[in-house]
Amino acid sequence: MGKNTKRTSRKVASQAAATLSDPNASATAKSLAASALAQSGTGKQTGAAMEDKASKVLQSDKYSSDTKSLAGTVLSQSNKAR
């Protein structure tokens, strides 16, 4: 399989930036936001550890819709071969 060329949209990048500057955001939300921002203008792909974290967030009821949105973005940019 080929390389995943998906990139973070401007809307999600803006949400990620807001999450990183929010002192009340969880560490999980901030790590997902950082990952999404790191992939916003590059060809970088989500690593295996971050894929696992994003997957767990999407399966959990304890996270907000904003955090799940970041998790979905991060997961959509994962390595297609994995």
pLDDT in tens, 9-52: 889 889 999 999 999 999 999 999 999 988 887 777 888 899 99
Q: What is the dihedral of CA 29, 64, 24, 19, to 10 degrees?
A: 50
Please state the φ and ψ torsions of residue 46, each to the nearest 5 degrees.
-65, 135
| pLDDT reported for residue 49 | 92
Q: What pTM, to 2 d.p., does this model score?
A: 0.84
Most confident range (mean pLDDT) of 4-13, 34-43, 66-75 is 66-75
Domain boundaries, the chain: 10-77
| Mean of pLDDT values over 54-68 | 96
Whether residue 4 is predicted with pLDDT greater than 70 in this model: the reply is no
Which of these, 53, 56, 59, 64, lies nearest to 24 by C-alpha position? 64
Whether residue 73 is predicted with pLDDT greater than 60 in this model: the reply is yes
